[in-house]
Amino acid sequence: MNQKFHPEQIRQLLNRSLSQIEQPTLERLREARTQALARYDAHNTAPAFAWAGNSSRPEHSANLRHKPYYYWVGAMLLVALLFSGATYWQHATTEQDISEVDIAILTDDLPMHVYVD
Amino acid sequence: MVLMLLFRNLALILGIFALLGQPALAATQPWEKLTPVQQQALSPLSKEWNTLSDDQQQRFLGLAKRYPHLTPLQKQRLHDRLERWSKLTPQQRKRAREKYQAFSKVPPETREQVKQMVRQQEAGITPASGVPPAAPAP
């Protein structure tokens, strides 16, 4: 067991073992490989479509079918909150500025009619 | 698909925006509900307060916030001018603000000269113009 194999030797050993495998086993291995490759392809393309709700991965499609909806609603809520916050902040700042000018006019040492048409 | 989702939830999204987009959902406040400080600051408006719009009330409440920080003279001026201010049109108030802000940018020396001129004009107002003289004759 302590014998060290060269990579080339390992390759030869594997090939030799492969030639000893029975045909039905080989068929099953081939089928499994094909399925694995198909799954690998689907996995690589899924994220792009998943956002649009088109995932082709059967084991994930059930999960992802409703996820885009939540993502969009969540994103919209976030945008709405940000928009609301920005609007509120702007409104409050404007109101504060107006109040400052108003109080300045109403308490200025110049009479109010100087500023009023 | 994305567009379909957006359209499907358009009402919901618009509703959220409409609700959250409103910066201040302020309702009118009856005079009785104002704090003593607010009532004191806005006392010249006590009679007409309940007829003012939400926006007007909010503006005046903004003024009332600053009332405690005013000097007695400024408080007196505020009370003297508040009623007339409330009767101005929004356009007139906007114009007055613009004029005040423009005047604030004038160099202090020039501003003082203008103030001096206005004071002289004020002092020269005769009883015929509807305003009593500054020092009535004994």
- Kindly list the residues from chain B whose CB atom is less than 8 angstroms away from the CB atom of residue A72: 2, 5-6, 9
pLDDT of amino acid A76: 92
pLDDT of amino acid B138: 32
pLDDT of amino acid A12: 83
ipTM value > 0.85: no
- Retrieve residue B63's tokens: 């003024």
**CB neighbours of B70 closer than 8 A, spacing ≥ 6?**
A103, A107, B78
Sign of CA dihedral B58, B63, B66, B67: negative
- Kindly list the residues from chain A whose CB atom is less than 8 angstroms away from the CB atom of residue B20: 80-81, 83-84
In 3D space, the residue among B64, B1, B76 whose CA is nearest the CA of residue B31 turns out to be: B64
pLDDT of amino acid B136: 34
Top-ranked range on mean pLDDT: pick from A20-29, A57-66, B13-22, B58-67 = B58-67
Give the integer Cα–Cα distance in Å for A80 and A72.
Answer: 12
Condensed to tens digits (0 to 9), the pLDDT of residues A12-50 reads 888 877 778 888 888 888 899 999 998 887 766 655 555
CB A13 within 8 A of CB A5: yes
In 3D space, the residue among A117, A86, A98, A104 whose CA is nearest the CA of residue B58 turns out to be: A98
| Cβ-based contacts under 8 A for chains A and B | 111
Condensed to tens digits (0 to 9), the pLDDT of residues A77-114 reads 999 999 999 999 998 888 888 989 999 999 998 899 88
Over the Cα atoms of chain A, what is R_g?
A: 36
pTM of the model: 0.57
pLDDT of amino acid A7: 85
pLDDT of amino acid B124: 78
- Kindly list the residues from chain A whose CB atom is less than 8 angstroms away from the CB atom of residue B92: 116-117
Provide the residue ranges of all domains of chain B, joining segments of one domain with +.
28-87, 90-120
Q: Do A103 and B16 touch (CB under 8 A)?
A: no
Which is more confident, A61 or B59?
Answer: B59
**pLDDT over threshold 60, residue B81:** yes
**Rounded mean pLDDT, B57-72:** 92
**pLDDT over threshold 70, residue B8:** no
Condensed to tens digits (0 to 9), the pLDDT of residues B88-117 reads 999 999 999 999 999 999 999 998 898 888
Per DSSP (E only), the strands in B45-134 are none
pLDDT of amino acid A107: 93
Give the integer Cα–Cα distance in Å for B43 and B34.
Answer: 11
Mean of the per-residue pLDDT values of chain B:
79
pLDDT category, A75, cuts 50, 70, 90? very high
| CA B42, chain centre distance (Å) | 11
**C-alpha distance from B104 to closest chain A C-alpha (Å):** 10
Determine how many CB atoms are found less than 10 A away from the CB of residue A35: 10
- Kindly list the residues from chain B whose CB atom is less than 8 angstroms away from the CB atom of residue A99: 59, 62-63, 65-66
Please give the span between the terminal C-alpha atoms of chain B, in angstroms, as a whole number: 90
Give the integer Cα–Cα distance in Å for A27 and A24.
Answer: 5
CB B33 within 8 A of CB B60: no
Amino acid at B46: S
